Structure 1
């Protein structure tokens, strides 16, 4: 976690000449994060090195979110040639660790996260590319591209694609909203006693409102109970008029997202040398199995039942060594 060569000059150009640069835990991408620290203030330095990363989608969404009253980090400076961005520092207190340490706050904090989505979904969607059928297919295919080969299964790709194609209409109907796409407890920062700040929204698209609900309530990184999931869905529906097909869309997108994540976590292990991610897959499979029980998923469930036995739905690293 050595700071990029251009960091010192970039900080100086933005008025942070005397800042110490301290590494901050990164994520699953090529992006790295540092904290610029001075005696009376701090900021976050994002290193999004080209050509692997492009910070412009993040910058555009951050400005759209703050312009619409949401708590995204303010932008203090940017250098697109070097992929450097200086951001408002939201601190280190994430919703995830707060809920784990104080279970009595779980419902209140999840309700606060749902309230953000309620507010987001009452606004016209940002000018974004659509979360359409081609994107849904491409993401679902990550399971057959990475997970199936890792555990020794030769999948029928044509049948897999056809099964998904038969159910995606549920997720493509109705008005589109801004979909942040990675909306979960590790990307929500406590910036006040009950105020949540938003991170990791650079991949936003315009799509179905159920997607970010799935991202939050079927969290790949922490267990969310079925009771909390049901309570938060009821909280959302009490504030937002949903159509009769909403539940089907929720489970279709849940299954699609969880299939994608199983593939991504396998890829992070095999391609990127990050072996902690496969250990998260059993949780994701539990969510996926639950989603597949919805009647709208019948064609997809039939493919999974014929192709991946329950005993092979788990940690791909562990299963590959059996």
Structure 2
């Protein structure tokens, strides 16, 4: 404690102030001088003890801050009673909690990044390996022209899939980084759904799926048409893949609280174990197709929730799936 210059200066100042009183008391009588010196020593000792206690508490806070700096975030919020040190301790505790939460979020994000890079590497390495093998085989002079043309068709299909995958990953990265600037505008839901159906037309035709639209012509929502059409298109593709030769029904509902868009199919349904993970990136359920990547529904979820909407799925094996999109009315 005496290493602190302000404490030394305080004691020196007190001694300088008391010295004239000691001289006056000594001139009066020896007893008066002893009394004044004793009183001064008692006050200085009391102040010294109190200051030592406060510095002890400050050292404890310093030790706790050092532990926080070392990554140890344990701290008891009830160590102090009322007073200025208690306020300081409370503020340090709040900062400690925030740092701990930030460290946990950073660790989670680092793990997510590691998993994402691993998934992306796998998704790109598989078609690249396949294409390299086909290119090697095509270099053989004895290969028939028909086989060569088939290999070229397969390589073109793989390149198209890789381009779609890279574009989807870039969109997902922008959505997760909140770098997408949505441009909400009043949009009729029928035009939005027709645009989504055109995006999923190839899958609808490929799997022989019939679409039924039950939506009022004047039903309007305020949202970003481009991004929302892509979200609905991904859901429609998923329904088409799992409702081959079946039907996909699109319904719109409006009430005083929410606007709803419901997309349901009468296909094979979703395994209950897959439902909690359906909107996770790169998650492939038990009924996933061999060429499924597991990114479409995750992107739909990101797009809809980024516009203050919700996306839920209800399904039973053998009885189809029901995707419910809700936008709550904003109360001004």
TM, length-normalised to structure 2: 0.22
Q: Which has the higher contact order (CA 8 A, sep 6+)?
A: 1
* Structure with bigger gyration radius: 2
